[in-house]
Amino acid sequence: MSQALPGAGAADDLPCGFDDDQKFWDRRGWLIAGVWVIFLVFPVLDLLLDDYALPIRIIGLALIALFAAVYLQSYAAFSWTIGQGGTSARRAQANFLVLCAIVALGIPVIGVTAMGLFPFITSFAIFLLNRKWAIASYAAVLVLSFALPIIFGQFMDAIFLIGLNLVLMVVYAITVAAIQRSATAEKIRSDYLLVAEQERVARDVHDGIGHSLTALNLKAQLALRLMDQEQYAQARGELVQLSALAVDALDSVRTTVQGLSRQDLAAELSELRQACSDNNLEFSVAGTAEEVPGALRSHVAWILREAVTNVLRHAHASTIVLHLEPGKVSVDDDGDGLQASTPGHGIRGMQERARQFGAICTVGASRLGGTSVQVAFGTKGNEA
């Protein structure tokens, strides 16, 4: 008698970590398994058409109905475990044992025809239960697939059922392995995205908040010097600016947390000019923000901010010159230079951010005598 692939549909398009897929399997996975219950029609026809006593037929049909109900209910409850190693829940194990008991009761009555129920057993075990139960079920079905035809003297008549069970066992095993591999790959991808996001936040905190704190510190020091010189009106002006910078720093924190760290390049140049002016640095810009492709301006703004902040912190410079041109931007100063020092977090951050949009950031000696930071990104730019 002919049987089909119970449970095979439960292995198709299984969840790989995406919310929509997971919700589908949580709520509708049992429908896919339910399609194959139609093939229980064959043992039903066997009971109805062969020469069985009426009580046997009634009991047999009732057991098949119970078999279908337990099978579907189990997939409805535990389909979310597909691809995750199955479940060890006692309820699932109890349901499985009920299915096995029904098959065992059917063997003395319908003989090798009961082998048509084996694919449901192996499907349940390998998709819904853990590895130990799956191995035991496979071993039992493998033995019974050969033993029953021999015991009932119908080996040749049962060749199709033997082949069907063997093929489905292999198909189920391969399918589960593929699902688990896909789930593992998705977990690795999710972990990578998490690390990338953590690195982004760390970089944005360093670039944005670090710059803001540096500016706050410089403003505070200038205000203190002015107060020591009894220039209270100017000191008050610096404190007002310090307060405004603190508000900007808070906005930067909110922007970083929200993942919306987009800087306007023209506005950034204006802020950098003001920061340099406040610290008695000569600041000049050759070119305009429009020279940089629009998709890259946010990234370039971050790099320029970090470069100028580094000069303010460490270089003891008196002059900063920015060049903006198609395909390249640069920051030069006349400060102390790198002096063979090991690149710090700021330089590594600039280089990493440049790599994000397909650019190259190099740091070396400047024609002004200090340090030069250059970012080359090509005339067309890339998608940010």
Angle at 143 between CA 76 and CA 35, to 5 degrees: 25
Q: CA nearest 162: which of 144, 135, 136, 139?
A: 144
Q: In the Cβ-directed half-sphere of 319, how many Cα atoms lie within 13 Å?
A: 10
For 287, other C-beta atoms within 10 Å of its C-beta total 14
Q: In the Cβ-directed half-sphere of 336, how many Cα atoms lie within 13 Å?
A: 11
pLDDT for residue 31: 64
Integer Cα distance of 121 and 135 in angstroms = 12
pLDDT for residue 11: 39
Q: CA nearest 117: which of 129, 101, 93, 136?
A: 101
pLDDT for residue 4: 41
pLDDT for residue 228: 87
Three-class HEC string of 117-151: HHHHHHHHHHHHECHHHHHHHHHHHHHHHHHHHHH
pLDDT for residue 350: 86
Question: Which 3 state secondary structure label does DSSP give 82?
Answer: coil
pLDDT for residue 16: 41
pLDDT for residue 103: 92
Parallel/antiparallel/unpaired status of strands 360-365 and 328-333 = unpaired
Integer Cα distance of 12 and 15 in angstroms = 9
Integer Cα distance of 279 and 272 in angstroms = 11
Q: CA nearest 22: which of 12, 30, 14, 11?
A: 14
Provide the whole-model pTM: 0.48
Q: Which residue has the tokens 């360093």?
A: 206
pLDDT for residue 329: 94
Residue 371 backbone phi and psi in degrees, to 5: -115, 145
Q: pLDDT per position in the chain (384 positions), as tens?
A: 434 444 444 434 333 444 445 455 555 556 666 667 877 887 888 888 888 889 888 988 999 999 999 998 888 888 777 777 888 899 999 999 999 999 999 888 888 888 889 999 998 999 899 999 999 999 999 999 999 999 999 999 889 889 988 998 998 889 888 877 776 666 666 566 566 666 666 666 666 666 677 777 787 888 888 888 888 888 888 888 877 777 777 766 665 555 444 567 888 898 889 888 888 889 999 999 998 988 888 888 888 988 988 888 888 899 999 999 988 999 999 998 876 556 666 788 888 888 888 889 999 999 999 999 999 987 544 444
pLDDT for residue 343: 61
Q: Which residue has the tokens 């250059």?
A: 374
